[in-house]
Amino acid sequence: MSAVEAMLAEKIWAVVGVSANRQKFGYKVYKKLQAAGYTVFAINPTLLELEGDMVYPTLQALPENPGVVNCVVPPQVTLDIIAQCAKLGIGFVWMQPGAHSAEAIALATKHNIQAECACVLVELDAR
């Protein structure tokens, strides 16, 4: 099973960088995962809610650990998210285009976190 298949098999996701702006990928990724039947937690320290859904400030604030954390944030923020995932024991990080860096991939590898650098919107459409 590929990393993409393993991650898409996980049914609980968190999207870091959720946005209330419907044009932004943080919004599109969150809504697409929901529409595909996933349980999705929204993460953004500057939002309290998104269309009636609670938005959490951090991964640590979630009621349960997600199977996959999707990053829709700048690469420097992704590094912090990977460090948080390592502390929480989260084994999958999906980095949207623009969220990844060689440093982020190296940090994920160091902590035995499987990292994927692709667009989840494209992968979900391909299924």
* Residue pLDDT, tens place only, 51-104: 999 999 999 999 999 999 999 999 999 999 999 999 999 999 999 999 999 999
The CATH number of whichever domain residue 108 belongs to comes to: 3.40.50.720
Whole domain around residue 20: which residue ranges? Answer: 3-125
CA–CA separation, 74 and 98 (whole Å): 7
Whole-prediction pTM value?
A: 0.96
Q: Coil, strand, or helix at residue 87?
A: helix
Q: Is 90 exceeded by the pLDDT of residue 110?
A: yes
Nearest residue to 112 (alpha-carbon basis) of 86, 94, 88:
86
